[in-house]
Amino acid sequence: MSFLEKIPVARLALFACLAAFAAFAPVSAVRAEVKVGEPFPSLEARDLEGVLPECAGSVVLVDFWATWCSPCKASFPHYGALQTELGPRGLVVIGVSVDQKAAPYDAFLKRHSPAFATVRDGAQKLVAEVRPPAMPTCYLLDRHGVLRLVHSGFHGEQDIRLLRAEIEKLLAESP
């Protein structure tokens, strides 16, 4: 008995339908994650809940996080310190929560009071387009909105030293 004879007809029909759908799916539906050197998707064009800070001409650190993620929680004081120290020179830190429900997000913000802007991608539109590989993952954008660094995970001071060095380079570049 051949392989195909072992698979029920219903499964073969399902596989055929899925293959046909994949062949004709819009390119945006199968788009790969954002790559270094590419423009980062506009945050204003997504259904993000919360107030976005003005970012034009700034170096921007976009951090994808979730309320259930312990390394995400550990990163918040460090990102807040970066915002406080380097904000006057042109850094904007934005935390993008991937939590679908508002209640855990709101409770987290009340408990932790981040020193940087946070928004929630409850509709999962931005996270679906960017496709961060892990929680947390941060994306460092230059003054023109071009992705310059992707950093997954958070391991404390070593990560902050790396990010600070890259942020300093971008802040030193002329606008």
- Predicted local distance difference test score (pLDDT) of residue 30: 37
Q: Are 150 and 36 in contact (CB under 8 A)?
A: yes
Would you list the DSSP string of 28-39? GGGPPPP-TTSB
Domains in the chain with CATH codes: 34-172 (3.40.30.10)
Percent composition of the chain: helix, strand, coil (DSSP 3-state, to 5): 45, 20, 40
Report which of residues 45 and 29 the model is more confident about.
45
- Predicted local distance difference test score (pLDDT) of residue 164: 97
pLDDT, tens digit (0-9, with 9 covering 90-100), for 8-28: 544 433 333 333 333 333 333
pTM, full prediction: 0.81
**Cα atoms in the Cβ-side hemisphere of radius 13 Å centred on 156:** 1
pLDDT, tens digit (0-9, with 9 covering 90-100), for 109-157: 999 999 999 999 999 999 999 999 999 999 999 999 999 999 999 999 9
Q: N- to C-terminal Cα distance for the chain?
A: 67
96 forms bridges with which residues in the sheet?
Answer: 64, 119
Query: Helix, strand, or coil here: 64?
Result: strand
